[in-house]
Amino acid sequence: MWLYEKKLEHPVRVSCPDVKFAKMVITQYGGPDGELGASLRYLNQRYSMPTDTAKALLTDIGTEELAHMEMIAALVYKLTECADCEDFKEAGWEGQYVQHNHGLFWTDANGVPWSAKYIACLGDPIADLTENMAAEQKARVTYEHLIQCTDDPCVKDTLRFLWQREVVHFQRFGEMLNTVQMYMADKQHMWHGHKMK
């Protein structure tokens, strides 16, 4: 179904481990505006899109979000590499160590597990594409907050790459929203689900 290159979309490096910052970054793994929710949202919404182009866009961005989740996982792993129980306790993240050690789990920065309530699919292309644009903006802001919270230039490089992709996704969804609105108005004589007279 896909050709999978066994390398990350963008290199993930850290200058030194930082468990405290890893605790913050984990929110982009399984938090409300993270990569898991984005991927599942887009891959699910594609089925109710009215055009093949819209379906393809959601498939492309949804699979790219999986690659971003992979990058976040690599970043958290590198930030916690060789950390022991005391390091996790010092970072206030001992629950992670006790339950998962260095394994990852989909949570936000406060340890709240990922929930399906983070994603939406209304089956209305206009509502769903608008939702996606908002989701990309929330992810963009979260990356901006993370960039402000680290001094590590290697980590900043990774986070900036992910930030840039959120901006591009927002733009692509905006373009597709315009296209889908025109399609629904012109081809189906529909606007927001109602017949036009």
pLDDT digits (tens, 9 = 90+) for 43-97: 999 999 999 999 999 999 999 999 999 999 999 999 999 999 999 999 999 999 9
**What CA dihedral angle connects 84, 87, 89 and 91, to 10 degrees?**
-140
| DSSP-assigned beta bridge partners for residue 25 | none
193 band by pLDDT with thresholds 50, 70 and 90:
low
112 in a structural domain: no
CB burial class (10 A; 0-12, 13-18, 19+) of residue 133? middle
Residue 3 maps to a domain: no
Has 60 been labeled as part of a binding site? Answer: yes
Does any domain span residue 69? yes
Per the domain annotation, does 7 fall within a domain? no
- Specify if 48 maps to a domain: yes
CA-based nearest residue to 23, from 74, 96, 124: 96
Residue 166 among known ligand-binding residues? no
Is the pTM higher than 0.85? The answer reads: yes
Is residue 11 assigned to a domain? no
Whether residue 136 lies inside any domain: the answer is yes
**Angstrom distance (rounded) from CA 69 to CA 83:** 22
| CATH classification of the domain holding 49 | 1.20.1260.10
Tens of pLDDT, residue by residue over 147-167, are 999 999 999 999 999 999 999
Question: For position 6, what pLDDT does the model report?
Answer: 84
136 is in an annotated binding site: yes
Q: How many domains does the chain have?
A: 1
Name the pLDDT band for 26 (thresholds 50, 70, 90): very high
- Contacts of residue 43, defined as CB under 8 A and 6 or more positions apart, other chains included, come to 58, 59, 62, 63
Domain extent at residue 64:
19-107+123-190
Q: What is the DSSP letter of 118?
A: G
Asked whether residue 94 is domain-assigned, the answer is yes
Distances (CA, A) of 165 to 48, 87, 93: 24, 32, 29
Q: What is the pLDDT of residues 93-136, one digit of tens each?
A: 999 999 999 999 999 999 999 999 999 899 999 999 999 999 99
Backbone angles phi, psi at 195, to 5 degrees: -65, 135
